[in-house]
């Protein structure tokens, strides 16, 4: 689509998309790096927390840790873990929505996966 994103070329790609869920416009911002991914989710442009997850050989569940913000809010952690398992990359997630209901976060996750399928080169 755009030039040749030669596989393995370390060029960082940026990608934005959004979805309207439960009367709320949710924005996504993705930065694809070499073997890693940064994903921001929010309705307003703030960055309140950050978690990272990565696969390891000892456990099928990726390890994750909270890097910034309220450590008792595990939404970013969980999402990072699930995306790390799917992509096999190191995944940074910043989830900045008030709604952390699991039904809602599942919709968020599905929207991300849908975008991943449509634009695999962006993730």
Partner 1 sequence: MESCHLKDSTMEARPIVTSKQKVEVVCGVPTQVVCTAFSSHILVVVTQYGKMGTLVSLEPSVVANDICKPAISTRVLLGQDEPLIHVFAKNLVTFVSQEAGNRPILLALALKDKSVEGVRALKEVIRSCQVW
Pick one of 1, 4, 6, 25: the residue that binds partner 1 (CB under 8 A). 25
Residue from 77, 79, 92, 123 touching partner 1 (CB under 8 A): that is 92
Within 68-87, the residues that bind partner 1 by CB under 8 A are 68
Q: At closest approach, how far in Å is the CB of 42 from partner 1?
A: 8
Considering the rule CB under 8 A, would residue 44 count as an interface residue with partner 1? yes
Structure tokens at 46: 């703030």
Q: Does residue number 113 form part of the binding site for partner 1 (CB under 8 A)?
A: no
Could you give the dihedral angle defined by the CA atoms of residues 9, 47, 81 and 33, in that order, rounded to the nearest 10 degrees? 0
Quickly count: other Cβ atoms within 10 Å of residue 41's Cβ: 24
> What is the C-alpha separation between 59 and 90, in angstroms, rounded?
15
Binding of partner 1 at residue 107 (CB under 8 A)?
no
In DSSP notation, 44-90 reads SS----EEEEEEETTEEEEEEEEEES-TT--HHHHHHHHHHHHH-SE
Q: How far is residue 38's CA from residue 58's CA, in Å, rounded to a whole number?
A: 24
Tell which one of 7, 45, 58, 120 touches partner 1 (CB under 8 A): 45
Instruction: Please give the size of the binding site for partner 1, defined by CB under 8 A.
Output: 32
Residue ranges binding partner 1 (CB under 8 A): 10-12, 14, 16-20, 25, 27, 29, 31, 33-36, 38, 40, 42, 44-48, 50, 52, 65, 67-68, 90, 92
């Amino acid at each position: 689509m755009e030039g040749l994103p030669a596989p393995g070329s370390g060029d960082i790609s940026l990608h934005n998309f959004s979805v309207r869920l439960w009367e709320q416009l949710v924005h996504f911002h993705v930065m694809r790096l070499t073997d890693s991914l940064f994903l921001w989710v929010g309705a307003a442009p703030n960055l309140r927390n950050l978690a990272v997850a990565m696969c390891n050989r000892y456990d099928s569940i990726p390890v994750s840790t909270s890097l910034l913000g309220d450590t008792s809010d595990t939404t970013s952690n969980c999402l990072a873990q699930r995306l790390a398992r799917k992509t096999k990359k190191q995944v940074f997630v910043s989830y900045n929505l008030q709604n952390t209901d699991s039904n809602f976060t599942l919709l968020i996750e599905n929207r991300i996966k849908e975008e991943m399928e449509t634009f695999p080169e962006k993730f």
